[in-house]
Amino acid sequence: MRLDSGHFYSGLSDPVLRDIAWLIATPDIVELPPPIPCAGRPTMEELGLERVLLPWLRQLGQPPLSALNGSRAMRMGHYHERLWHTLLNHAPNTRLLARNVRISRKRNTLGELDMLYRTRANPAPVHLEVAIKFYLGLPEGPGAATSQSRWIGPGGLDSLALKCGHLRRHQLPLSTTAPALETLAHWLTPRDIGVSSRELGEQLTQRLAMPGVLYYPWHAAMPAPEGATADHRRGTWCFLRDWPALAASVTERPEMAWLEKPHWLAPPLHSAFRPMAEQLPAIFEKVHAWRSPQQVMLYYPQQQRYERLFLVPDNWPRQVPLPPVIR
């Protein structure tokens, strides 16, 4: 059974459990190029969930994970981090050691390390940075056709190029700096990590998890951005003016659900889906009133297939983030 199939999610009724399942099943959208000494995300085997994922998720939900509180008031990034905290702290083969570790020098904050964990097989700590990103591609934008600068967030303030640049230059190298190693030696005892503070810098490794979705424009062909993983999740975006043509192009009439933050991850329960004619007026109203893209999920009952779609204002985007300055 595919981990991203509707059949898999049908066994999970708790939205938080569904989001954790999506998190585990969803590939990263991009790989950072060398020379960053960074491995990818924790694997199913490393987590100890290779053959027991569904039973483990059901057990995790007893009692329900109300402490996560994936409410509409919670920011997507914070909610995503708390999903990772839960996953690393409860998976059979990992243990969460620390989270949101602030690194300072002479009372000046240099940044935070998202989380540190260890595995059952290896006590040396792992620094894991996480980000969840939903980027829309601009067929006409800065740089070459495959430039990461052409992939921007729905709000138009972030881009794949900016995020990757910040990860390469700041977030991932931070844990190898002297202030970070001093802080970690204070936070973590040899019992936690199985190594002395002197050995910490030699054994600490960096990992990155950046799941998400890349949305390709409906009205124009566009290649994947540079560094995109081969199996990244894909969606579509279209201007409101193009919606009638898009709707006319599908052979099977799908059902529709509006996705509300922070639950942009797993498909919602089937009870959330309604005929498009019932859902569209309210969604169009949100696009006009908020002047921002709105994400919906389409479900094709005959194919048992989900599809992600952003409906965006006709004047979107109003600004394009500039590419990062390479130093």
Q: How many domains does the chain have?
A: 2
Q: Crossing angle of helices 53-60/15-25, nearest 10°? A: 150
DSSP 293: -
Helices (H) and strands (E) in the chain, counts: 11, 13
Q: What is the pTM of this model?
A: 0.92
Instruction: Report if residue 326 sits inside a domain.
Output: no
Shared domain check, 182 and 41 = yes
C-beta atoms surrounding 180 within 10 Å = 23
Tokens at residue 20, please?
């954790």
Is residue 149 a part of any domain in this protein?
A: no
Q: Which two tokens stand for residue 79?
A: 């909610």
In this structure, the answer to whether residues 273 and 305 fall within a common structural domain is yes
Same domain, 207 and 261: no
Which residue in 76, 81, 91, 111 sits closest to 42, CA to CA? 91
CB 126 within 8 A of CB 116: yes
Regarding whether 129 and 22 lie in a shared domain, the answer is yes
Asked whether residue 69 falls in the same domain as residue 23, the answer is yes
From CA 152, how far away is CA 137, in angstroms rounded? 7
Structural domain boundaries, residue 122: 6-140+160-213
Parallel/antiparallel/unpaired status of strands 94-105 and 108-119: antiparallel
Question: 217, 208, 18: which is closest to 135 by C-alpha?
Answer: 217
Domain check: are 247 and 178 in the same one?
no
Residues 52 and 181 in one domain: yes
pLDDT tens over the chain, length 327 residues: 455 555 677 778 888 899 999 999 999 999 988 766 677 899 999 999 998 998 999 999 887 675 565 555 578 999 999 999 999 999 999 999 999 999 988 888 899 999 999 999 888 889 999 999 999 999 998 999 999 999 999 999 999 999 999 998 889 889 888 888 888 877 776 555 555 555 666 678 889 999 999 999 999 999 999 999 999 999 999 999 999 999 999 888 999 999 998 889 999 999 999 999 999 999 999 999 999 999 999 999 888 889 999 999 999 998 888 777 665
**76, 124: one domain:** yes
Number of Cβ within 10 Å of residue 135's Cβ equals 25
Q: Are residues 84 and 203 in the same domain?
A: yes
Classify residue 72: in a domain, yes or no.
yes
Query: Alpha-carbon Rg of the chain, whole angstroms?
Result: 21
- Rounded to whole angstroms, the Cα distance separating 147 from 323 reads 9
Q: Do 109 and 236 lie in a common domain? A: no
- Mark whether 226 and 127 lie in a shared domain: no
Name 205's Cβ contacts closer than 8 Å, sequence gap at least 6: 37, 39, 124, 125, 126, 127
In a domain, 325, yes or no: no
**Shared domain check, 224 and 166:** no
Does residue 306 form part of some domain?
Answer: yes
Q: What is the spatial distance between Cα 319 and Cα 316, in angstroms, rounded to a whole number? A: 8
